[in-house]
Structure 1
């Protein structure tokens, strides 16, 4: 190869080497380049520094822009009448793209850009922009006097393909020619002619000042104070929250439909629209009473797409009149191409989804779909696939990490997450759920009397908490809180949640919502049992249906009798044992809770349980077999309470006689290792139910119910003293409402409205006209009392009532909050004060103090019987009867704490008021600015962005050199400072740590159970490819797609994965047929090419650092 060719080949010379050599022997340089990329500056920086008398004329031929995160050149033909000032401004914009490129976020550039500014200030560097676009690359070297005399020439030049970039100078192969012996004068003339016509960038003093100011204050090397950095972090957070959308004039729409405008709702709409664009969905999680349905309707209108709503059947409303429920919202907001469906028919929707052209899915009370391993969740997952998803839930945080992940999975692709820095959200939540389960074991068993359980808790404690024994439960609680904070931080990019405290304290919202009603502390109301009734009451709770009580629940746990249990059960055996044990506990607790609710409800349950047991016994006597419905066990926790017993009756009456091996587990009693004990225990339970029936009748607890008598007396008193105040009585059970109905009709006549779980058109009309203060139709006053199950505790406005009566003991504070939320509505205050009444059993003849003591003791017995079903106490609290009573009777108003967004909105408003000049300055700053300040210990704090999501990270040094993702509020605490906080130099370790944190990629492993299930599914899929390949099976491509999903995307629900992997695929025809049926089902519901859409919308999002703030330990700096 000729010696004057420069290709950057490793075996040949590089352009970087030749430029530096020629710079060192020249007194003037003239460079014509497409654009002056600063990545090349560092390669010639030292040579220029060593020649202080040298001048460089830089002629730039093109503009640059940022395209998809990359800097590219482009030719912009100047307007004929454009002025040189306009051309200068265009150059500044282009310079901003070049200097603020992430490639320039290096120590070299940060340190060397100052020399660039110095050369401009000293007139050593002149820059001009060519009159017309020019893509030439020409490097002219006017040799110094010694070299010119020595070489016998004035200069030489290089031309070719290389731009003045790191890539062009040495990182990639190019083709350039160094020319010495001819054409130098002509090349200089060509350059000079272009130079004369070009737009000066640095020569005019005013432009030079603007350029230098631009570099110093509007690029990533800008010098900013710690206080300015603090303000920038706050502003960045709010800018991403407050994205404006103007597709629909919501103000005019709200005025048209006579709904009051609240800024907190319109702000939520704007935030949600951005979340949906970025993440494909969002969760509206405002507390009860803040109008989640209105917000969702506004979002739907703003999106201007077709959609469906899936909600509890009681919230659907009247599809014909469209004057209630969701149908009313659709009518009001002009969503005429939307449909409303009951979640009770979710499987039917999924079965008929093919060909429907809706684009948006709103799921009301979305927390119902928290279990991935159910048919309902699987159906919803298939419905939501490829759609925009809006989930409504006031209680998204009251669940395990697995439950929350299930909701996220309805619109986030877990293997390509948009809400976490790392892509693998599935692995992250698997780790969180594993830790959650481990901590739960500690809480449950740390002070157990069972040595084995206690030792298990201690082993986990020393591993997870990393502390020596004995167990400090406060440290376990602190770790649990950190886990909770981690989850809230992870899901924050897709969650909108405000409570009443937020609205009261927000500088804008507080002026709009007006004064809210005051919820008074609950009033205790006692009903009185005689001695015999009292004894029976205590026996039911602490003897018959207590844990390890008389009731054996044999028919719910046949697996325990089939085998002699040991620690060596395989995974399937463990799953069976735990499921059936949980089913028994669940049924036992139902009986306790229904007994506490009402004697009428309890009598109905005993009747049903007895009937089921008799049918089971008869079936065993006739066939020698027993059948347990696996699908019933899987769905037990997701059934409505009233549905559980109905399903049991249906199962006993019909399903026992049908052979449905796909869903049913068939047990041959003759093979049971504890056969006689199983039969005896069934007989024992039958005898128990019959004895209870007799005792209820003898004590006349249903016929002359003392609790019912007391409630009627109390309501009569309320109606006399508060005649204008309507009353709502809530019970968890429809049977309790039916039990009360007859007597209430007798005492209060037509003043009583009954809701027994089914919201008919007539009932919906009466609820609106008589109990909804916001109803726009004709209001009536026919009813004073509403008896209802918890069907009405969600989604209804009932704020013309001013009293809530909890007829059952309110074990679940969230449920009480939901009940009170029906009458405590934002923007429609009716009463200054709202009343709550709680009912408790006591003993005849006791005074008020003694009555409270007796009631507390009975509540404590029930609490112990219910176990985890009534989790009232924190783990570090000592359970006592008195403490239980205090907790249950505490005010249920859900205030919580002020959310981060509210604190930051108020903080930023204050900063704007006090420091408008700083807000103006930071508004001009690009990403990746840096500063340093003093702090008690060293920390490097980074705010990063991925798409529209922000992430705060911190890194210490030496023994604290661990990269941690922290809450945004924690970041603010670390960087908060006064306006006069001194700016320190970046420390000697800054750049190494900065690069480390930028390159950091956390890795998470799936939990063993998830891996096991997915591995089994993938193994079956792989095996099916081998088996079916020779049969020319048409679904081979779909099977390969499922494998790809399992490996990279993790979108399948646990239920769908279990379809594939629950049973090991074998070569026999029955196994293959069953497997192919499941594959066909998935293909029908997922779609033949379901991954195509997922792959198209999960392309990587750029991650960039917004700001770095170094907290320096001053003691160390001056050591």
Structure 2
């Protein structure tokens, strides 16, 4: 025997999964032997006992044998233990030889068979082995072994070197290399995404690196999850990015956009040479569903935030249309203050209870858990705002980072600075918003206050008659009642908005209300109540408000007898009409217009309004007409008014396409420049039109929802615009002599508008304002005087900061970057940290799921850290000295981090509460389906019901459909009728399974990527 005791040779045919090889060099043998051991180490248990054993094994391989001279003389390496490999031919035999001492009765033992020294070889598999005791058998085996040993190669030194460098036993990795390794493992899939993409740009379009990167990232996300948010802030070119993305998609594309933007999208896709595409208005969703959209593979939804309410008809139709397609959602403001907004948009391409988001198969449970944390908090307290912000951060870290592409101007300027400089591009500087005050004092102030008081008494009975309906016969659903209450709230808001917009618009609006009430009361006195077709206010609130008013007043009608309504209905109708007539009487005495006077004064002095081109936005068509007439008198031929009806310039009316052409000639920097200086527009122009020859945006109406007004400013605050951009807001106030008193008066007026609406203040805009510890007037004023509000971005950090750092390392230090790939898995390093006590930060991966957990020696549970917080703890200078972990504490904390990760990655982590209406409806329907099992049914019916059960369990059916199905089934009197209702309300396309082949779910084994030992001040 070359060594005393038990020994062996590593075979060369299959080394723990290695391929068969018939001739090995020394290098080949060493590599193959090491890879087998490395794989074993990578999957080994994490314990101090195991590491101690491995290091003892290494110690035997490097320590001299007690009989070193004798061992060397025998042709061995003189160490306590030696590893050799036979390189000449496949060696597959498993042979174990044991020799006894000289005084033993037997010479030894030989065990041979199918088992090797591994878990599966010793206990996991069914093996067959024999033990031989005869001395001649043992000697024969010994002789064969000795012959092979002499022809084998010594791998010991190489094996030890590889173990100590290429496995987690490596104690030489510095804290900085650990930091870079963390970034590499986190971002490596994002480093080179655009190699195979098509970037054919039309003439005149700039090739911008940040747009390329966005398209590459979006394509990766789209293929993985079946949907992606393109959510860059306004002015970065989301439409062009969408066109570049479409160019790389093979199949028919459907673009859904606001009706005012269809021509713009058609032109853009035509410029980019995109074929097999169709552009349609979002108003045609119903007809598209009826027509059938099977040929489309991809759906682009512009202004996707319009579909954040799952109970609207628009969402229901869009959800049906998106089924089994890949979805691109385009919006600068997808995540608002309501968690459900972003969740509902996610439902367009993810099943709520069977999602592909790594670590979050149950999105419903995740969002319900976040809402549950908010429910006990008072909205008027800072604690609520803090909890809301923390929840939004959790959504960004655990959900949106997987499915969203979003960058801000600051990020582009900072992390793509070289490309921006090369292209000669800068973002304009946004000045602090300017304020123009107009005064409501004297008699006018008294009229204003009286008007506000009377609007508070207004019941809006004419618009909510279902609220007064007597005993219901079941023909009016709860949903229809809620829709009508929405209309009432909207009409109430219209009056308040028009009062602030212009006295002219307010007088006309009140006059319309009076005539509408007079006609309604006349019919009521004849014994009839005619109700217009329900209008989906939340879906249409993004459109022209005048168009929404028209739809409320017209459309299909239902007739009810006047006797069906309670007596107070007639009283409230008469009271409302009396209040409206009194308001008309009040305003007949008003001939002045301080707001318009303030505009003209600012134009004359040039203090707030410069000499350049400017855009004046208003939500009211009537205010726009009024402004056009008055400005045209001052500056003939320099004013154009644009609305959904078309345009007006001079004495001419223009068709919408002709008006847009005239606007481009004067306001688009690509054109020569036309004669127009003033562009008056309703919000239909605040989307999809480049107007950045202008440098000033005037919000003539108060921007009740600053998020929405971002689109206005975005028309001129974009790449290539003028050096500075100015925003001007008008504020109502009382007479005041000092600035503080003036601001207090403004806030008081804003609060008065808000308090007039009460609970209906939500109809002021799409944003649910929070932070109720601050009065609405104070909060709105603060937002409207802040530059940050109109830039659409804050100083929030993003992952782009670290991705840029890694790219810089790759491009400027390629040799250092190349070393990152070879740093072993489960590696660890340590450094000093300004904290009390030692801590361990561990980076885990499981499939597409990546998480960081931190724990300390105090024994409390490990906690998960968002990437940015974890990155801060990993970050250190390149020369940061290494500190060795204290192994006993290290393994204890690692075990707690692993336990916390396993709990967080569990698919059952979030329990779904059935308390929400959508869940309640799903639960009710699932129970109802069980009752149908005993009813006679065909095989096709049984298949339908089983598929429906599965989809309901996944949360894949829209809330509005489950709500309606439940309501109808409650009145079904037999199983056959129930089945007809289910087939009608839940179409077949909802039953087909959607499979995302590339989805990086959190399947597979948990991997420990690396750990950072943080040694506290008090531990030194």
| TM-score tier after normalising by the smaller chain length | 0.7 to 0.9
Match of 2:94 among 132, 138, 154: 138
Contact 1:556 1:580 in 2 (8 A): yes
Aligned partner of 1:990 among 871, 885, 893? 893
Structure 1: gaps (5+ residues): 1-26, 30-51, 65-72, 318-324, 445-472, 658-665
Give the direction of change, closer, same or farther, for the CA distance of 1:554–1:430 in structure 2 (3 Å limit): same
Q: Which residue of structure 2 lines up, in the alignment, with residue 121 of structure 1?
A: 62
Residue equivalent to 1:285: 231
Return closer, same or farther for 1:420/1:720 CA change in 2, 3 Å cut-off: closer
How many residue pairs get aligned? The number is 969
Matched, 1:1016 2:924: yes
Matched, 1:823 2:716: yes
Please give the alpha-carbon distance, in whole angstroms, between the structure 1 residues aligned to 2:1001 and 2:386.
38
Residues 415 and 1050, structure 1, Cα contact 8 Å, conserved in 2: yes
Instruction: Give how far 1:486 is off.
Output: 1.3
Partner of 1:655: 557
Output the aligned Cα RMSD.
3.9
d(CA) in 1 for partners of 2:800, 2:271: 30
Residue in 2 that maps onto 1:412: 350
Question: Residues 498, 520 of structure 1: CA spacing in aligned structure 2 closer, same or farther, 3 A cutoff?
Answer: same
1:396–1:404 contact (8 Å) kept in structure 2? yes
The 1:785/1:92 distance shift into structure 2, 3 A limit, reads farther
Distance, in Å, in 1 between the alignment partners of 2:166 and 2:631 is 74
The separation in 2 between residues aligned to 1:752 and 1:396, in whole angstroms, is 35
Inter-partner Cα distance in structure 2 for 1:239 and 1:562: 63
Which 10-residue stretch deviates more, 709-718 or 227-236?
Answer: 709-718
- Maintained 8 Å contact 1:314/1:758: no
- Give the CA deviation at 1:844: 8.9
Deviation at 1:819, TM superposition (A): 1.6
Match of 2:791, SS state, is coil
Residue 363 of structure 1: how far off its partner (Å): 1.6
Q: Tell me if 1:423 matches 2:361.
A: yes
Q: CA deviation digits over 1:593-632, x for unaligned, max 9?
A: 1221123333343344344444544554455667575663
Gaps of 5+ in 2: 64-78, 647-655
- Of residues 221-230 and 389-398 in structure 1, the stretch that sits farther from structure 2 once superposed is 221-230
Alignment partner of 1:398 out of 323, 336, 339: 336
Equivalent residue for 1:944? 844
Q: Does 1:691 align with 2:582?
A: yes
Q: Residues 898 and 888 (structure 1 numbering): CA distance in 2 closer, same or farther, change over 3 Å?
A: closer
Deviation (angstroms), 1:290: 1.2
Question: Any conservation in 2 of the 1:1059–1:1078 contact (CA below 8 Å)?
Answer: no
Say whether the 8 Å CA contact 1:552–1:681 is kept in structure 2.
yes
The alignment status of 1:150 with 2:105, answered yes or no, reads yes
Deviates more, 1:337-346 or 1:737-746: 737-746
The 5 Å alignment of 1:769-848 reads 769-773=665-669, 775=670, 779-826=672-719, 828-829=720-721, 831-841=722-732
Of 864, 881, 892, 1:965 maps to 864
Contact conserved, 2:113 with 2:130, CA < 8 A, in 1?
yes
CA 1:1031–1:126 in structure 2 vs 1: closer, same or farther (change >3 Å)?
closer
Per the alignment, residue 217 of structure 1 pairs with: 165
Structure 1 match to 2:454? 544
Cα distance in 2, alignment partners of residues 175 and 820 from structure 1:
78
Find 2:428's aligned residue among 517, 521, 530: 517
Q: What is the distance in 2 between the residues matched to 1:716 and 1:856?
A: 27
CA deviation after TM superposition for structure 1 residue 1106, in Å: 1.9
Q: Measure, in 1, the Cα distance between the counterparts of 2:265 and 2:430.
A: 28
Following TM superposition, by how much is the alpha carbon of 1:885 offset from its aligned partner in structure 2, in angstroms?
A: 4.5
In the TM superposition, residue 563 of structure 1 has moved relative to its aligned partner by 7.8
Q: Which residue of 1 aligns with 2:502?
A: 598
Structure 2 equivalent of residue 767 of structure 1 = 663
In structure 1, what is the equivalent of residue 177 of structure 2?
A: 228
Contact 2:692 2:716 in 1 (8 A): yes
Alpha-carbon displacement from aligned partner over 1:57-97 (angstroms, at most 9, x marks no partner): 22142255xxxxxxxx364455x8x8554565466556544
CA shift for structure 1 position 575 = 7.6
Residues 286 and 394, structure 1, Cα contact 8 Å, conserved in 2: yes
Greater shift, 1004-1013 or 690-699, is seen at 690-699
- 1:923 paired residue among 821, 843, 846: 821
The alpha carbon displacement at 1:293 in A equals 1.6
For the 8 Å contact 2:164–2:170, the answer to whether it is kept is yes
Query: What is the alpha-carbon distance in structure 1 between the residues aligned to residue 143 and residue 402 of structure 2?
Result: 59
**707-716 vs 1011-1020, greater mean Cα deviation:** 707-716
1:1036 Cα shift? 2.8
Contact 2:544 2:644 in 1 (8 A): no
Deviation at 1:185, TM superposition (A): 5.7
Map of 1:15 onto structure 2:
none
**SS in structure 1 of the partner of residue 663 of structure 2:** helix
- The alpha carbon displacement at 1:655 in A equals 1.6
- Is the alpha carbon distance of 1:113 and 1:334 closer, same or farther for their aligned partners in structure 2, counting shifts above 3 Å? farther
Q: Quote the Cα distance in structure 1 between the aligned partners of 2:937 and 2:229.
A: 46
- Give the 5 Å matches for 1:152-191: 153-160=107-114, 162-181=115-134
Q: CA–CA distance in 2 between the matches of 1:331 and 1:886?
A: 43
Query: Deviations along 1:695-754, whole A, 9 cap, x unmatched?
Result: 444435xxx75534553564466599955x211111123332233334444443433233
1:360–1:389 CA contact under 8 A, matched in 2: yes
Q: Which of 52, 55, 61 is 2:13 aligned to?
A: 61
CA distance in 2, matches of 1:853, 1:993: 54
Distance 1:293 1:166 in 2: 57
Cα distance in 2, alignment partners of residues 721 and 75 from structure 1: 77
Whole-angstrom CA distance in 2 between matches of 1:590 and 1:120: 85
For 1:714 and 1:87, the matched residues in 2 are separated by: 86
What is residue 75 of structure 2 aligned with on the other side?
none
Distance verdict in 2 for CA 1:573–1:309, change over 3 Å: closer
Alpha-carbon contact 1:931-1:986 (below 8 Å) kept: no
User: Hey, what's the Cα distance between the residues in 2 that align with 1:233 and 1:633?
Assistant: 49
1:307 and 2:243 aligned: no
Q: Whole-Å Cα distance in 2 between the matches of residues 873 and 1023 of structure 1? A: 44
Q: Equivalents in 1 of 2:740, 2:57: separation in Å?
A: 84
CA contact (8 A) 1:1021 1:1043 kept: yes
> Matched residues in 2 for 1:629 and 1:368: separation?
21
Q: TM-score, normalised by structure 2?
A: 0.85
Pair 731,743 (structure 1): closer, same or farther in 2 beyond 3 Å: same
- Distance, in Å, in 2 between the alignment partners of 1:496 and 1:159 is 58
| Distance change in 2, residues 1:344/1:125 (3 Å) | farther
Q: Distance in 2 between matches of 1:193 and 1:235?
A: 48
SS in 1 for 2:8: strand
1:1057 is matched with 962
Choose 905-914 or 326-335, whichever is displaced more: 905-914
1:750-761 alignment to 2 at 5 Å? 750-757=637-644, 760-761=656-657
1:379 to 296, 305, 317: 317
Contact 2:30 2:155 in 1 (8 A): no
Structure 2 CA distance for aligned equivalents of residues 487 and 93 of structure 1: 40
Say whether the 8 Å CA contact 1:523–1:837 is kept in structure 2: yes
The answer to whether the 8 Å contact 2:434/2:608 transfers is: no
- 2:415 aligned residue (498, 503, 506): 506
Distance in 1, matches of 2:505 and 2:345, equals 34
